[in-house]
Amino acid sequence: MLKIVEVLVLVVAGLGFVLWQFRDLRRSREITRKQREAEQNQSLNATSESRAPLEKRGPDGR
């Protein structure tokens, strides 16, 4: 009987670990995606600002 309990505890612990790792992986992918989007937006804004003629920019330099 004790062996069955030990095996069940190990199986539950293993499943919990696998689920935790998948959740962590999903969170990491989401953070990476947001960082890439922010970098792309930042580079697009920098490119568009550098191409804009000085006379068309507003008083605050944008």
Q: Decide which of 62 and 49 is more confident.
A: 49
Q: What is the pLDDT of residue 61?
A: 63
Q: pLDDT (tens digit, 9 = 90+) per residue, 1-60? A: 999 999 999 999 999 999 999 999 999 999 999 999 999 999 888 887 777 655 555 666
Copy the structure tokens of residue 41: 């937006």
- CB hemisphere CA count around 10 (13 angstroms): 6
Q: How many CB atoms lie within 10 A of CB 52?
A: 13
Q: What is the pLDDT of residue 50?
A: 73
**Which residues touch 49 (CB under 8 Å, ≥6 apart)?**
57, 62
**Continuous segment of H or E residues that includes residue 31:** helix 2-51
**Which residues touch 62 (CB under 8 Å, ≥6 apart)?**
49
